[in-house]
A and B are shown apart, each in its own frame.
Chain A
């Protein structure tokens, strides 16, 4: 049982860009703008030109329903769009089309690895809205002489996933974000690596006090840092006898601190009212068909991996915590010993990738298979295999090339055997010590064998042969 000494309550509002859809949420503009010039993926609708009208992208609604189902939510009978009225230069219509009453889905949960084991975080609602444009400043926001606006992002489909205030530490918040991102990637509606794909607003209170809302968090790590800072700040306020006020704070990512925004922000009255240009959508009928084709989600895959491949739950958990990794593993496991694949993909490759901050795409699946084949056929040593993986990541090439270049092919057993005989003859003192019961003396004999074979012998094999010969 986690005691939560500071009475931390954290709720997250996550804006997820449905960036794998082909078109924007209310117009036909394409979404693959990330490498294109500003304002090149725009039309009268997403520029909010006078007289233009929105039309709902059905695929976006389907994706939103998918998420709702994956988050164990209830899908509404009817869903309705609303206008949220406020002025901002990135908002070309002077209002944002979003949802208010009748969101797509509500009342679900996500299970995370909590402070005290499995922990359930409630999902209040998940609703659709449109992304505004993007403001671009020369240098920093406060020093720039002008602001440029790129409307390529304007009208991208967003899903706002609002959690209950169920997280009790910044670590739990980070795990929630990891899990949410993972689920979204399993649903194949979202690429978390694209700029602006996932944006977080965090609400946090301690000791039952007022909550602060922290805006402008753009990474999972940022969320954890912002919340850690905020806990310290709120504790300091209380310790000095002050009161934490309800306010909106801005996360300064570079300095890793939160700063109070103008209190004007709080006074907003968004004047929500139903969007007259979009008729209410009856979606209750859509859910069963979407549920039927819902892909396997991380928790289910984890169980299946344990069952189907006989690997440990720890391996299964690590392998399924990222969709691309799970696919990589499964492709390898189907062709070789799945347990061996788990060790090499999860323990070795994942560690090496993390160390280099590289995605799984940086390593060729066929190369992984080659390395495992070489091991299974006892052509290389385990140390040699690690060496190949590291070399491939750092310098490229193929496993065969690395083996040849570095001379990693394991020497044959009879060569080891000859070397062992020579080593016994040349190190009589060590032999005597070993026979006298000094087990460690064997290590110097193994060392001698390795020296004679220029390190290409497998240390374990050398040891076995030595023991055999020493009788």
Chain B
């Protein structure tokens, strides 16, 4: 798989248009269903323009795929939902503005779980995305299309969003690198909200270096997002092949029941590798981990029930026959939302109802604070934490989709990170048969530098990321 540096050289030697055309052709010939919309014409036009005028941005002429919950001016943005059929945003998300300024070329919008609700990309209105390593398996989710596009060579870079693991899970299942930054580092302006207080946009690539380069482009303060922090992206210099003296915390709660033995072994081997390179490791206790999943789902569903209220067919998207307004709203929402979205709206509405707010939502916020404290305590001793990203490798399409609880349990390793708001990167660390295994390196708030350096050092000294399809 070509890196940003290799592509840049080829763009200089040949042209961006040629590169873009190659990727577009691969998308056309692919069976993965990684894309909902391919923006062929505008991509080629943009490439020609860059070829003609030149561009000195860090991603000049490089194609990128964007998860379909990020607003792109003039390109349909659906969140993989029927309810947003035909919605063409009149504005670009902050990250899209930044990508365009950097010279990146948007080649299309990727498939996802409807409104980012899922871990398998099976709840999409546009059908499931397949895993490039085994087409009978899911690519993970909810940013399954973005991870599959990189894994399948259909885009060198892509963006996803991570509310409870939606970047790291598909990165792990597809054998690519995916980063969930600290909450507030990347502007959410233009990211269609699922659960505002938990989610961040995150980059995918086939190497840690490319993830860092892309992260540098999209990170930074945006006055249009009140939760965005005043920091600019400059993380690439942190990429040193050196973990000497690094203190790795191993949260035993993340290696407990339900973790596939191959996954556990690969992650423990990876920690050994880092120790051989000069790092030390220690066990850390994260006693509230067992409550994370319930707290996460209550908060996420509550926020979602409110966030998704705006989809009523009045101004954009699906519109059914008009009756009085409440009947029209009900029809549009009954017809436009899929089952999993409806399930979460119902549960979230219930959790926020009078008489239940204290019992569920406010209690979940208290657990959230306790989980944050777990991380703060762990980081007093450790520089980074390492754990499996997912409890098991990619599962079969259809295997869990009718059992929501079992699907929710798949997020047990990833959601505590979103509740705490800390950064985490998932990278390949082994195989279970022919399926990739991912580990996540978790950092302190705003210490992306430490996790990028750890991940980079691991990658430089192993070959897991090269064993691609």
Contacts and interface: CB of A to CB of B under 8 A. Distances in A.
Contacts of A51: 69-71, 77, 89, 93, 188-193
B77 A277 contact: no
Interface string B291-314: 000000000001101101111101
A53 B224 contact: yes
Contact of B306 (A49, A83, A92, A278): A83
Interface in A35-91: 44, 47-56, 83, 85, 87-89
A271 B352 contact: yes
B93 A276 contact: no
A149 B192 CA distance: 24
A93 interface: yes
A62 B191 CA distance: 30
A439 interface: no
B315 A50 contact: no
B71 A50 contact: yes
Contacts of B193: 50-51, 277
Contacts of B353: 269, 271
Contact of A92 (B224, B227, B310): B310
A88 B310 CA distance: 10
A101 to B, nearest CB: 11
B71 A279 contact: no
A269 B309 contact: no
B89 A50 contact: yes
Contacts of B308: 94
Contact of A55 (B77, B192, B224): B224
A1 B87 CA distance: 65
Main secondary structure of the interface of A (DSSP, over half): loop
A87 B302 CA distance: 16
Given A87-B329, A276-B303, A48 B226 contact: no
A54 B226 contact: yes
A193 to B, nearest CB: 31
A277 B305 CA distance: 15
Interface in A132-177: 147, 149
Interface in B292-345: 302-303, 305-306, 308-312, 314-316, 325-326, 329
A94 B70 contact: no
B270 to A, nearest CB: 35
Given A269-B353, A277-B226, A85 B306 contact: yes
A286 interface: no
A401 B84 CA distance: 68
Interface string A89-106: 100111100000000000
A94 B306 contact: yes
Interface residues of A, number: 29
Nearest to A27: B224
B315 A276 contact: no
Contacts of A33: none
Given A49-B89, A50-B84, A50-B87, A89 B314 contact: yes
B318 to A, nearest CB: 13
B235 interface: no
Contacts of A276: 195-197, 227, 303
B189 A52 contact: yes
Given A50-B84, A53-B189, A55-B224, A273 B89 contact: no
Given A87-B326, A273-B302, A49 B84 contact: no
A49 B352 contact: no
Nearest to B115: A50
A44 B226 contact: no
Interface string B217-229: 0000001111100
Contact of B226 (A53, A85, A93, A149): A53
Given A51-B93, A52-B189, A89-B314, A279 B361 contact: no
Nearest to B355: A269
A54 B352 CA distance: 22
B339 to A, nearest CB: 20
A88 B312 CA distance: 10
Contact of A273 (B87, B191, B329, B361): B361
B279 interface: no
Contacts of B312: 87, 89, 94
Contacts of B195: 276
13 contacts: A49-B89, A49-B90, A50-B77, A51-B70, A51-B188, A51-B190, A51-B191, A52-B91, A85-B306, A85-B309, A149-B314, A273-B352, A277-B226
